Structure 1
């Protein structure tokens, strides 16, 4: 292990402590707006205070620890991620980024290093898809782009507005934060690129845009035993061909740059063994860092859904449309220089997953650092990242913070 200023032992202990706060029998589950999440927030707030940070919950429900700089009005360098998890799979996803941000603040304090800028450590509220069916609630709020209509969403009799209040926020006063001069987030890769190439760190150049495209194919129901094979309008057979073509098309596009397409939802009607399906619905999750490539793919889906067997009709609907986000080139240059000084190998990468950084990039220069994931596993109990990898990423973030503060 390299000679680091950050403490790998403290990082490991913090991750272990948060992992212990989980729903009974469900490692690792600490969903936003749940009692376990609230318990985790208490632990994090206490850790912030022990590190000498002033603690607050902002209007959007984000938990923030701040270390004041020596130059009033110089602005804020912000580090962070999220502590909420998906069900059964959040030991490192998000948590590593919060803990690393905290460790950077601790290292600076114990070495007596004063910054001109304020340093803020943030645990964003509900980065994962929440019980209200929406994600990145806290970072959208900090960026001033959280839809106001979201506040009326309900889960078990509680609105999102009340849930944000319950964690200490004030959802009626959300406005974009204007003092952030730079935002950095460390995250586990959730893929196999770094591990497979033996690279220490990934420097994220873009966060993929995500399209959700619904396709409904309509045919004709009929008796499974009496309708001749050459007289059928089987919606499922037509849908099966479409799914196969979607996979092949996405594979071809992936050879030209990061691109994925997944049929993650699929249903047929009427759903009886002895009835020919007359309706098939599929939902495509498509992701790309290239907006033009994504728009072209949507056109391809519409065209392909118009080329169906006789008796089958298709309807295409864009369910959601999220643009890709480019990270800040200047910050990436600084991160690369910091990695070189620390002796960490690195490579540019595209993130196929969404992150809070995508919304912070709307109000400040923002960038991400990835650390390797074992076997690319994530959002599952087997998710694992070596602690030495996380500590190395923390050292690079610390080095970058010092360079940013000095104006280098």
Structure 2
């Protein structure tokens, strides 16, 4: 452990443990957005914000905000993450970043350090996929990027608009923030790179774009016991070849400088009967790329794979369809440099890397200079009860945020 860190690791550990105790019985660690337990967790965070001398409120988008006024104003720096979890998910995903942000505010107060600009610690509403089927509700709402159509989505007999109202928001007062001058977020890596390489901090260059692609294979249903093997039009056999080809393409593209993954995550087979040759298969591919050119190469290759497979197995495969297509969001180069300088100054090892998962940073970065850092997590496990991050690693990341937010504040003052 590095000595003389400007943050208190014991406070970080105590707050994370306290939130971990607020969970559904027998389902560690479950505190889904819009649930009573979520509100209980938020109440705890709000108390800790007030203990740190922060002014608290819920904004129109349902985000919990702890504000520390600056000496001069002129804009706001934001640090934060989220307190909601996936079902039976981890106790560090989001929570580590939120408590790290709170600890930055506490450490500034401990040292009597006043920033020129306002500082906000934010618990974003519903970063994880919510019961309403959508995610990053708070960060999209804060920045004016939440689709209006989302407000009528229903779950548990209520609309999303009603859910936001229940947590203290006000959809009728929605207005995109224009005062945000910078954003930082700490998060567990949710992968094994930092752990494998023995590196303390990942400086995140971009939030990878996500493209979801549907492929439908039409074969012919026939009797499984009487149709001889050479004359079958088995949709599942063709689909199996495509799945393996997708893996091979993903492996090749993962060797390029940018982050790339491809996964067949949804798979449906018809008629799904033991004695019938499969007549139809639908699959949905989740492909993620840091570099747009890698995604275009993959999609072009997928078209070729589909055509080749249809011809080989005598089935019909329509051209793959992009169901959704979100390009990568790069982090701000100057903020990346600030984070690296902060790590260097504290003797903390670091490397650049992309995020394969989505985060609130991806939406904040569209409206203000933003970046995030990763800290190691055990065996890369995440979104599961076994998720674990060491307090010492979280404290090192928090120390980087502590130095970086002061540097960002100084630079903004110099530019004004």
TM-score (norm 2): 0.96
- 8 Å Cα contact 1:84/1:90 also seen in 2: no
Checking the alignment, whether the CA contact within 8 Å between 1:90 and 1:379 is kept in structure 2 is: yes
Number of the residue aligned with 1:251: 251
Residue 371 of structure 1, aligned match among 360, 375, 384: 375
Whole-Å separation in 2 of the counterparts to 1:90 and 1:35? 18
Secondary structure at 2:11 match in 1: helix
Whether the 8 Å contact between 2:90 and 2:388 is mirrored in structure 1 is no
**What is the distance in 2 between the residues matched to 1:152 and 1:406?**
43
Whether 1:331 aligns to 2:354 is: no
Q: CA deviation at 1:404?
A: 1.5
Match of 2:315 among 312, 317, 335: 312
Unaligned runs of 5+ in 2: none
Matched, 1:55 2:56: yes
In the alignment, the residues of structure 2 paired with residue 305 and residue 167 of structure 1 have an alpha-carbon distance, to the nearest angstrom, of 47
Does the CA-based 8 Å contact 2:203-2:336 persist in structure 1? yes
SS of equivalent to 2:31: coil
2:271 counterpart residue number: 270
1:104 corresponds in structure 2 to 104
Q: Is the 8 A contact 1:270 1:278 kept in 2?
A: yes
What's the counterpart of residue 86 of structure 2? 86
8 Å CA contact retained: 2:92, 2:389: yes
Contact 1:264 1:284 in 2 (8 A): yes
Q: Secondary structure at the match of 1:84?
A: coil
Q: Normalized against structure 1, the TM-score is what?
A: 0.98
Contact map agreement 1:208 1:325 (CA 8 A) in 2: yes
1:344 is matched with which residue?
348
In 1, distance between residues paired with 2:377 and 2:17?
17
**Alpha-carbon offset, residue 296 of structure 1:** 2.3
Listed one character per residue, the Cα deviations across residues 300-344 of structure 1 (whole Å, up to 9, x for unaligned) are: 222321221343111322111111010000001111111011110
Matching residue of 1:302: 303
- 1:261 maps to which residue? 262
Does structure 2 conserve the Cα–Cα contact (< 8 Å) formed by 1:176 and 1:363? no
* Cα distance in 1 between the residues matched to 2:313 and 2:290: 36
Deviation for aligned residue 1:111: 1.5
SS of match in other structure, 1:221 = coil
Match for residue 216 of structure 2? Answer: 216
Q: Following superposition, which runs of at least 4 residues in structure 1 exceed 3 angstroms of deviation?
A: none
Distance 1:254 1:265 in 2: 22
Which of 397, 400, 404 in structure 1 is aligned with 2:404?
A: 400
Give the Cα–Cα distance (whole angstroms) in 2 for the partners of residues 172 and 301 of structure 1: 44
Counterpart CA distance in 2 for 1:214 and 1:131 is 24
Cα distance between partner residues in 2 of 1:65 and 1:286? 36
Of 315, 321, 324, which residue of structure 1 is paired with 2:325?
321
1:362 aligned residue (355, 363, 366): 366
- Are 2:280 and 1:279 equivalent residues in the alignment? yes
Q: Measure, in 2, the Cα distance between the counterparts of 1:105 and 1:11.
A: 12
Distance 2:46 2:207 in 1: 29
Total equivalences in the alignment:
407
